[in-house]
A = this chain, B = another copy of it.
Amino acid sequence: MQRSGTLHVRALPSGRIRRRTGRAEVSKRVRIEDVAAAANVSMKTVSRVLNHEPNVSAATRTRVEAAVEKLQYKPNPSARVLAGRRSYLIAMLYDNPSSNYLMEVELGILDACQSQHYNMMLAPLVYDAKDIVEKVEALVVQSRLDGVVLTPPITDDPALLERLDELDVPFASVSPMEAFRRIGVVVDEEKAVAEMIVHLAGLGHTRIAHIKGHPAHGASGWRLSGYREGLERAGLVFDDALVVDGEFSYDSGFAATNALLALASPPTAIFAANDDMAAGAICAICERGLSVPRDISVCGFDDTPIARHIYPTLTTVRQPTREMGRIAGQELLKAIRDRGAGGIVEVPYALQLRRSTGPAPA
């Protein structure tokens, strides 16, 4: 932590002094002024670089960035907020307080925030609540949010989006439904699922069941469509009896599978709309003394850690959750700086073929 040029030794408010090898050193905090001196530019130029503003040549930009890195400089958030007109604060809105999915998205957003020295806060919401629009408005106003990231299913509430527009608060959505796509990230889940179904058909399965996701989530729809499309592409007929309700929870997957196994002619493969339900399915199958994948193949969606940790390891679809959070954050930050900037980014999925799927029984 040093700078070329004059060394300002200033008393810290708290007067922090540390001793080492008998010598007293003052650990001073680095200010924008120090970075400016180190990079041989004005404070304002440093500020511009920090805020990703235009009108800085590439050369000076890299020079400033180097100085920032070298000095480990971090802007003082209070000073920024006080001097500027922004709060440098965004929030992630969600309604499921503890899933791995959210954690990954959160880390991705944080990642995006880091480079621009933005802060993020978590805003748990109950999606069912009828006053959700008021809740969000209060949050936005009181916390002076510069923008928000929406996660499913909060992405698809028309009234909320409208209010956000009225408040002139930019928002980015993670996996919004088609009708609500403005700024955010999406994955072609339908295509992914279709591919998975075709893969199962290729293994000889002809009776492939589907456990649907929570009806309020757009993803449930896409995954169902992908299932139908996959069947069609594989030349299999769609059978109503093989499609059962679920709600993305382990328990619902367990129950749905029991229903499926009670059928006169049960399926030889099950595609659950997410990994948690697939785990529940595997449990239900095992409890009946059947074996996965010898008797029944099971696959899920999301590639959560559980997919690698259950027995047998789960065939599933990976979506790059953290990356998605990062992109949502980036696009949001763009839009905050410049209303009109930011857009929809599509990221790739990847089939993870593991041990829970295999050839259809003879």
Contact = CB atoms under 8 A, between A and B. Distances in A.
Protomer copies: 2
Nearest to A119: B6
A14 B250 CA distance: 44
Given A29-B142, A286-B311, A20 B305 contact: no
A168 B119 contact: no
Interface in A111-165: 111, 113-114, 119-123, 137-139, 141-144, 163
B7 A141 contact: no
Contacts of A73: 142
Residue in A29, A30, A82, A142 with the greatest tally of chain B CB atoms within 10 Å: A142
A329 B340 CA distance: 41
Interface residues of A, number: 80
A41 interface: no
A143 B13 contact: no
Interface in A4-18: 4-18
A144 B279 CA distance: 45
A235 interface: no
Contacts of A78: 77-79, 81-82, 87
A56 interface: no
A247 interface: no
Nearest to A80: B78
A306 B98 CA distance: 13
Contacts of A167: 16, 18, 27
A201 interface: no
Contact of A110 (B120, B122, B276): B122
A97 interface: yes
A61 interface: no
A311 B311 contact: yes
A4 B310 CA distance: 33
Nearest to A9: B143
A308 interface: yes
A168 B25 CA distance: 13
A5 B311 contact: no
A5 B110 contact: yes
Interface in A236-295: 250, 276, 279-280, 282-283, 286-287
B12 A142 contact: yes
A233 interface: no
A52 interface: no
Interface stretch (A43-51, A100-108, A176-184, A216-224): A100-108
Contacts of A84: 13
Contact of A9 (B11, B106, B121): B121
A7 B120 contact: yes
A85 B122 contact: no
Given A12-B142, A27-B137, A98-B107, A168 B18 contact: yes
Contacts of A77: 6, 78
Interface in A60-87: 72-74, 76-79, 81-82, 84-85, 87
A166 interface: yes
Given A12-B142, A18-B166, 10 more contacts: A5-B120, A6-B120, A6-B121, A9-B121, A14-B142, A18-B167, A30-B142, A74-B143, A78-B79, A119-B119
6 contacts: A29-B141, A78-B82, A82-B82, A279-B310, A282-B311, A311-B311
